[in-house]
Amino acid sequence: MPELPEVEVVRRGLDAHVVGSTFGVVEALHPRAVRGNDVDLAAVLPGLTITGTDRRGKFLWLTLSDGAALLVHLRMSGQMLVGAPGLVDSPHLRIRAELHGPAGIQELSFIDQRTFGSWQYVPLTGPDSEAAASGFRSVPATIPHIAPDPFEPEFDPVATARKIRTKKVAAKTVLLDQSVVSGIGSIYADEAMWAARVKPTRKGKALRQRDAVALLEESRAVMARALEAGGTSFDSLYVNVNGASGYFSRSLNAYGQAGKPCARCGSPIVRTVVNGRSSYYCPVCQTR
C-alpha cells in the first residue's frame, strides 16, 4: 500500500497539473470506486473547480470551489493519472473525469486494479480561528480519527512519543496505528526502527522517551529521503500522475533485505512477524 511519501508524490503531481481546472463530464465506471458517497459524483462534480490539494498521512484530497473535498483513497493499487483525453486505455479504469483548465482539456483517470480505492465527496471540517492561526487546517469530515503525520505543523513529537509509551503492543504495531501517528506503513516503520536501532518487537511501554522521540524523528527523516526519490515502487501499481515510478527501494536498509548484510554492522538482516506483518531488522545492532 502506498505510504505517506508515495501519496505525497501523487499530491504534488496533482497540485502541479489540475489546480485551477474545472470538472466537466465525470464517468464512474465501477460502483466500488464511488462507494461511500451520499451523492452522485457524475452529478455533483461537473462545474466545480479544483482550488487546491492536501494530504494527511496516506489520505489525499482535492479541495473544491464549493467548500467540500474530493477524498481519494488509493489503497493497494489506486493510480491518479493526468493526460490527454482518451490517452488512458486500461481494463482497470474505474473513474474518468474531464478537466477544463489552463492547460486546456485534460483527463483525470482513476485506475485501480484491485478495486479497494475510491473517490468520496465529503465536507471539510475547519479549525477554529485560534487553531487556524497556529497552522491547523481543514480536513475531510470522514477522517477525524486520523492523527497528524510527522510533516504537519499540528504534529507534536514529544506528545506522540508519550502516547507510544502507553501502548502494551510492539513498537512496530504502534507506528502502524494511524490514530497515533499517520502516514507510516510497514516499509518506513522498518526503516525508521533500523535507523533508531529499535527492535520491532520491543513494546511501546518499554521504550524510553528519548527512544520513542528518536523513532518519530527517524520516521520523518526516512520519509523525507523517500520523497526526494519519488517514493518506493516494487511493481507497476504505484506511479506518479505521469506514470513514473519511484526508486527509493534502492536505498532500503531493512525492509525486504532478509539475509543481506546490515549496512551498519554487517550482520545478516532477519525477518520476523509482528502482529501478522513481516518485519525486517538487524538482530545485532537494533538493541534499544
Distance CA 237, CA 217 (A): 29
Q: Mean of the pLDDT values across residues 173-195?
A: 96
Comparing 51-55, 126-130, 151-155, 242-246, which segment has the lowest mean pLDDT?
126-130
Q: What angle do CA 45, 46, 50 make, to 5 degrees?
A: 65
Say which residues have a Cβ less than 8 Å from residue 37's Cβ, sequence separation at least 6.
119, 120, 121
Mean per-residue pLDDT, 8-20:
94
pLDDT bucket at 227, cuts 50 / 70 / 90: confident
What percentage of the chain reaches a pLDDT higher than 70? 90
- Give whole-number Cα distances, 198 to 40, 94, 153, 254, 267, in Å: 48, 41, 26, 12, 16
**Is 92 a known ligand-binding residue?**
yes
Q: So where are the chain's domains?
A: 4-134, 157-281
Q: What pLDDT, on the 0 to 100 scale, is given for residue 238?
A: 52
Per-position DSSP letters for 155-201, written without gaps between them: --HHHHHHHHTT--SBHHHHHT-TTTS-S--HHHHHHHHHHHT--TT
Range 145-170 burial, b when 16+ CB lie within 10 A, else e = ebbbbbbbeebebeebbebbbebeeb
User: Measured between alpha carbons, how far is 24 from 42 in angstroms, rounded to an integer?
Assistant: 9
CB 195 within 8 A of CB 210: no
What whole-number distance in Å separates Cα of residue 58 and Cα of residue 143? 11
Say what the pLDDT of residue 135 is: 55
Kindly state the DSSP code that residue 202 receives in the 8-state scheme.
Answer: S
Q: Which residues of 111-134 are buried (b: 16+ CB within 10 A; e: fewer)?
A: bbbebebbbbbbebeeeeeeeeee
Tell me whether residue 167 is annotated as binding.
yes
Give the C-alpha separation, 251 to 186, whole Å.
15
Residues labelled as active-site residues: 2-3, 58, 277
114 assigned to a ligand binding site: yes
Q: What are phi and psi of 185, to 5 degrees?
A: -115, -165
Q: Is 258 helix (H, G, I), strand (E, B) or coil?
A: coil
- Mean pLDDT score, 234-247: 56
Domain 157-281, second-level architecture: Orthogonal Bundle (1.10)
Task: Give the C-alpha separation, 226 to 118, whole Å.
Answer: 25
What pTM was estimated for this model as a whole?
0.89
Superfamily of domain 4-134: MutM-like, N-terminal (3.20.190.10)
**How many angstroms separate the CA atoms of 110 and 8, rounded?**
16
Query: 193-217: string of b/e by CB count within 10 Å (b at 16+)?
Result: bbbbbbbbbbebeebeeebbbbbbb
pLDDT of 230 reads 75
Q: Do domains 4-134 and 157-281 have the same CATH topology?
A: no
Q: Tell me the chain's radius of gyration from C-alpha atoms.
A: 20
Could you tell me if 258 and 270 are in contact, meaning their C-beta atoms sit under 8 angstroms apart? yes
CA distance 34 to 191: 34
For residues 189 and 181, the answer to whether their CB atoms sit within 8 Å is no
Confidence of residue 101 (pLDDT cuts 50, 70, 90): very high
